[in-house]
Amino acid sequence: MRTANLPQTSDREAPGTPHLAYFGGEPAFAVPRHVGAPNLGDRAVLMRRIEGLLDRRWLTNRGPLVEEFEQRLAERVGVRHVVVTCNATTALEIAVRALDLRGEVIVPSFTFVATAHALQWQRITPVFCDIEPGGYTLDPERVEALITPRTTGIIGVHLFGRTARVAELQRVADRRGLQLLFDAAHAFGCTRDGRSVGGFGRCEIFSFHATKFLNAFEGGAVATDDDDLAERVRLMQNFGFAGEDRVIHVGVNGKMTEVSAAMGLTSLEAEAGIVAVNRIHYDAYRRELRGVPGLSLMRYDERERNNYQYVVVEVDRDEAGLSRDQLVALLRAENVLARRYFHPGCHRMEPYRSLFPHAGLLLPRTEHVTDRVLALPTGGGVEPADVARIGGLMRGMVAHAAEIRDRWPHAVRRGEVT
């Protein structure tokens, strides 16, 4: 790892463009720094659990670690039932089926495409709704305006750990007789009005993918206080079996393995430490980027509990002198693998782009943020010194924006950016 383009001046600005990797300099990091590098927890504890499951030769089909993981998750988020699954997309698909959704379901476009795919895969039409002013989650007023006789449900998404407006969405759902559920893939360990995510709507879906705050290598879960719904979900994630050879419901293979539960339990036990590391990085980015023209760091509500898993910046091209995409290209050349979450929006991806070619006309706020938002590396794969270096790079890029713009056409001609 080099130090040549670390900030050297008193105002902590990075050197000019000749030192940037994009223009031929040496990358700031020899090893890439990722958004969402896995949080690992205590390796020794994990290995003991893995040794135990190997000794038992019970690798799947609802072993003791899966049962323990479900119980501890339910206790942690304060619901009666948690059913874990092989991944969150399967959990969402099963929940959609268990709630008997059909016709049209209202969802945000500013989300990971799996939220929409879980509907389209089951021949349910996702109706894309705009996000709230100044935020990233569904606008309840726009939701109500999109309801038709074919609408059966609403899927809200808690994005970047910031929760959707659950009370307002619940009022809309109750008033119009709709099912409400939440994609909570980003929000484990977070609260809304002091209440843990997991118990809102008919159910909430967690992700335990490797990049998530709490990971199980790969996994998901349906959390609910509805006894009947939990029973249907449990049947559907195991082929509909209600006993060794008795099938009473249609279902799929959505079971979590024991090794995934071992990792999930280990991650759960490390939750407080993971939050502490994330918070250190978030606060460091806030210091490093304070006052940089055109860069606005997403703020968390300090009145609520947050997991601080995401460091999200909006880029104002006019103020920063560089576009979001230019900053991403410059950072990636330095092995800072910033991500354009969630570009370009589900409505501009296939098959939705072809099915709903004019959807963007109803999504002005979504279109606005998809061209501005970037996520920066944080989590267990990043050190505070890395944050300082990334912050210095970004300050220098904005400080030398005019010089970078002057050289940018050469990069365009090389075909590196558009």
From first to last of its 418 residues, the chain has per-residue pLDDT tens of 333 343 333 334 444 566 899 999 999 999 999 998 999 999 999 999 999 999 999 999 999 999 999 999 999 999 999 999 999 999 999 999 999 999 999 999 999 999 999 999 999 999 999 999 999 999 999 999 999 999 999 999 999 999 999 999 999 999 999 999 999 999 999 999 999 999 999 999 999 999 999 999 999 999 999 999 999 999 999 999 999 999 999 999 999 999 999 999 999 999 999 999 999 999 999 999 999 999 999 999 999 999 999 999 999 999 999 999 999 999 999 999 999 999 999 999 999 999 999 999 999 999 999 999 999 999 988 999 999 999 999 999 999 999 999 988 655 544 455 5
> Hey, which residues does 127 pair with through a beta bridge?
106
Q: How many Cα atoms sit within 13 Å of 170 on the Cβ side?
A: 10
Give residues with Cβ within 8 angstroms of 221, minimum separation 6: 70, 73, 82, 83, 84, 85, 88, 91, 205, 206, 208
Question: In this structure, what DSSP letter does residue 131 have?
Answer: B
Instruction: Please give the domain boundaries of the chain with CATH numbers for all domains.
Output: 17-31+271-413 (3.90.1150.10), 43-269 (3.40.640.10)
CA angle 56, 217, 163 (to 5 degrees): 130
> Which of these, 158, 87, 93, lies nearest to 126 by C-alpha position?
93
End-to-end CA distance of the chain: 29
CB burial of residue 44 (10 Å; 0-12, 13-18, 19+): exposed
Task: Quote the pLDDT of residue 19.
Answer: 85
Contact (CB, 8 A) for 348 and 34:
no
SS3 content of the chain, % helix, strand, coil (to 5): 40, 15, 45
Collapsing DSSP to helix, strand or coil, 86 comes out as coil
Phi, psi at 366, each rounded to 5°? -60, -45
Contact (CB, 8 A) for 259 and 361:
no
User: Which residue has tokens 């995934």?
Assistant: 260
